[in-house]
Amino acid sequence: MYLDLASSVSKAAKPVHGFSTLAVTFFTLSMYQIATKSALQSSAQSSVRVTLITRSTLTSSHQLAERLVVLPDKPNVLARRVQIRPQHSPNFVKLHNEGYVSWAGSRARQSHLLAWLTWELGPLFKEHVDKPISERPFKGSAMVVNEESWSGFMKTIGSDPYVKEGIWDLEKTQFIPFRTLFRIGNEGK
């Protein structure tokens, strides 16, 4: 069964954000091995192999000028943030689909047996609560973008409703050089 799966995954695998087809295939198979009960003893060893292989296949030509951007909200903007969120969200989905935003927020979910992780857009909170959106304690947003400069970032997001409406405190925003060492595609969404 494992060899049949290996053959199927190898045929279906494609390069993902700078990782070779071999790395994607190996990662998928290793995650399958980890997920099966018979492979529990070798799961730690598999995890190490995955990390080493994927890191070694990321070439300098595929390195992105990534930045971790932390955008705190201004005080007392929660009601307005929630009100204009329907205009804000499609903009970031578009930027994500274009590859400009690698991820936003920090909510991951396991999408199927082979353990691909997909990122869902989401804000930063003061605390985790299970409440309606209008009652959640938002405190800002976080994202990883593929951008060299602050001015380029501002040009790209300058028309976003959260910028135009003064939701984000741009003076307190952190624009930090960042490098993703391990990247997983968003197949299976």
What's the whole-model pTM score? 0.54
CA pair distance 74, 169, nearest whole angstrom: 5
Domain end point (choices 61, 76, 95): 61
CA pair distance 83, 95, nearest whole angstrom: 21
The answer on 88 and 139 residing in a single domain is: yes
CA pair distance 97, 187, nearest whole angstrom: 12
Could you read off the pLDDT tens digit of each residue along the chain, which spans 189 residues? 434 444 444 445 444 444 444 444 444 444 444 444 444 443 333 333 333 333 333 334 445 688 988 888 899 988 898 899 888 888 888 888 888 888 765 333 333 333 333 333 345 555 566 766 666 667 788 888 999 999 999 999 999 999 999 999 999 998 989 887 766 654 434
For residue 159, the enclosing domain spans 66-178
CA pair distance 28, 159, nearest whole angstrom: 39
The answer on 83 and 146 residing in a single domain is: yes
66, 102 Cβ separation under 8 angstroms: yes
The answer on 70 and 57 residing in a single domain is: no
